[in-house]
Amino acid sequence: MAEKLWYKVARNFIKAGRLPIRVSDIIIEIMQTLLTEEQAKFITLLRKRSYNIDEIKPLTDMDEEALNNMLSDLMNIGVITGIPSRSTGVMVYRKTPLLPGIIEFTLMRGETNERAKNLAKLYSRLYKQVVQDTQTNYDQMVQEYRNGPSLDRVIPVEEEVKVREEVVLQLEEISKIIDKYDPIGVSPCYCRHKKDLLDEPCETTKERRNCFAFGRTAEFLISHGFSEKVSKEEALDIMKKAEDEGLVHKAFHTNLDIEKELDGICNCCKCCCGTFLLHYTGAVPLMDYTSHLAHIDKDLCAGCGTCVESCAAEAVELIDTIAEVNEERCIGCGVCAHLCPENAINLARTEMRRVFIPPPRITANN
């Protein structure tokens, strides 16, 4: 009976997201690490995507105090969110998807205790499971990802956009995003923190406190201790440092829908961050929304290779000592333009497009 319970809980959190992940012993172990049996039983009562408190009350025989304590505990863990409705102000409770979601929230506080180390190991094993599942059923899995949502939207380095374009969409300038939202929360990058816990520190930056949340999502994360409230000035300083270190701004929206509210921005590197790491290990496609494309002025290019080294999407290569951009891979982040010592690269606006590059096929020799 207990085995069936944990299977149902694992499936509930997977179904709360939109990625094709199967229930496995690893995910069940993650659930058992995070939740008590009582909490697990409560989760199975929540079959819809979202509830207000009046909709939850009839599902359980808990009194009001016990129910509020249960919801508070689950929000503190990070497996449920409680965010007021934009239209009514009524608190809406939602199950947090496993990925992206629970994996990030549960490492977002930067804790280094044994539980955090154990979770980091479990998440690493889960990533390997996803790699194996994708590689075993490659064509089917790639098609499922192709038919599903992209995880994020790339926001270009602001300096490169300002210098080279007359018109910029409001939500594509970091400073305008920061100016628009209040409050703003910052927390340790959970991807780099996971790698630290595994004794595999980031090769790109020593900074850890550069994962952002905005607006209603920030209010939730700040109130439950996942994020720290920061001023707009401090947020902009952190973003600028991330740009100078070659990190990619990736924006995450509610329900993975770029038409919906902006929840947060991660500053991503190739060696740690999930969207890149899972791609290069053969688990998931590189799938980003973007509205910019890098172009290289061949007359100015010195062939130094800075752009090749700094491109997290591996979209630039040197051909006869001149850099060339693979437009199908370019995610328009602007890192190459920002770091080019010859100012030989600029960003051009495109229509909003989806970059979709299947994961590499991993052979036994690799």
Nearest CA-CA partner of 211 in 200, 199, 198, 222: 222
Distance CA 222, CA 359 (A): 35
Q: Among candidates 55, 126, 53, which has minimal Cα distance to 84?
A: 53
Tell me what the mean pLDDT of segment 189-218 comes to: 95
Q: Is residue 129 part of a domain?
A: no
Q: Is residue 90 part of a domain?
A: yes
Distance CA 241, CA 267 (A): 10
Tally of domains in the chain: 2
81 and 15 in a common domain: yes
Q: Specify whether the CB–CB gap between 40 and 29 falls below 8 A.
A: no
pLDDT reported for residue 17? 86
> What is the rounded average pLDDT of the residues 103-131?
96
Domain around 100: 2-106
- pLDDT (tens digit, 9 = 90+) per residue, 138-147? 999 999 999 9
CB 329, CB 286: distance < 8 Å: yes
DSSP-assigned letter for residue 23: -
233 exposed, middle or buried (CB, 10 Å; 0-12, 13-18, 19+)?
exposed
Residue 302 pLDDT exceeds 90:
yes
Question: What is d(CA 3, CA 203) in angstroms, rounded to the nearest whole number?
Answer: 40
On whether both 102 and 205 belong to a single domain, the answer is no
The pLDDT score that the predictor gives to residue 1 is 60
For the question of whether the overall pTM of this predicted structure is more than 0.75, the answer is yes
Predicted confidence band of residue 160 (pLDDT cuts 50, 70, 90): low
Q: Do residues 76 and 211 both lie within one domain? A: no
pLDDT of residue 170: 36
Asked which of 67-71, 157-161, 344-348 is least confident by mean pLDDT, the reply is: 157-161
**How far is residue 175's CA from residue 240's CA, in Å, rounded to a whole number?**
10
Q: Is the pLDDT of residue 166 over 80?
A: no
Average pLDDT over residues 137-162: 82
For residue 114, being part of any structural domain is answered with: no
Asked whether residue 362 carries a pLDDT value surpassing 70, the answer given is yes
pLDDT of residue 169: 35
pLDDT of residue 175: 86
Say if residue 193 is in the same domain as residue 291.
Answer: yes
Domain match, 146 and 209 both: yes
Asked whether residue 25 is domain-assigned, the answer is yes
pLDDT > 70: what percent of the chain? 94
Return the minimum-mean-pLDDT range out of 29-33, 170-174, 321-325.
170-174
Q: What is the pLDDT of residue 58?
A: 96
233/101 same-domain check: no
Report if residue 133 sits inside a domain.
no
Would you say 168 and 161 are in contact if contact means Cβ atoms under 8 Å apart? yes
67 with 144, same domain: the answer is no
Q: Is 55 helix (H, G, I), strand (E, B) or coil?
A: helix
168, pLDDT greater than 70: no
Q: pLDDT tens for residues 225-271?
A: 999 999 999 999 999 999 999 999 998 887 667 677 888 999 999 99
Residue 121 lies in a domain: no
Task: Assign 162 a pLDDT band (cuts: 50, 70, 90).
Answer: very low
Shared domain check, 190 and 51: no
pLDDT digits (tens, 9 = 90+) for 60-87: 999 999 999 999 999 999 999 999 998 8
38 and 165 belong to one structural domain? no
Domain match, 253 and 159 both:
yes
Q: Which domain CATH number covers 17? A: 1.10.10
Residue 72 lies in a domain: yes
How large is the average pLDDT for residues 148-168?
63
- State the pLDDT at residue 259: 72
Phi, psi values for residue 212, rounded to 5°: -110, 150
| Cα–Cα distance measured from residue 181 to residue 158, given in angstroms and rounded to the nearest whole number | 17
pLDDT in tens, 311-342: 999 999 999 999 999 999 999 999 999 999 99
Rounded to the nearest angstrom, the gap between the alpha carbon of residue 83 and the centroid of all alpha carbons in its chain is 19
Q: Is residue 164 over pLDDT 70?
A: no
pLDDT at 330: 96
Where does a domain end: 106, 128, 155?
106
Same domain, 166 and 280: yes
In a domain, 298, yes or no: yes
Identify whether the C-beta of residue 119 lies closer than 8 Å to the C-beta of residue 23: no
Domain stops at, among 57, 82, 106: 106
Whole-number Å distance between alpha carbons of 259 and 128: 32
Phi then psi for residue 271, to 5 deg, are: -85, -20
- Write down which residue in 55, 80, 106 finishes a domain: 106
The enclosing H or E element of 276 equals helix 274-280
Residues 131 and 120 sit within 8 Å (Cβ to Cβ): no
Same domain, 97 and 209: no
As a whole number of angstroms, the distance between CA 342 and CA 303 comes to 10
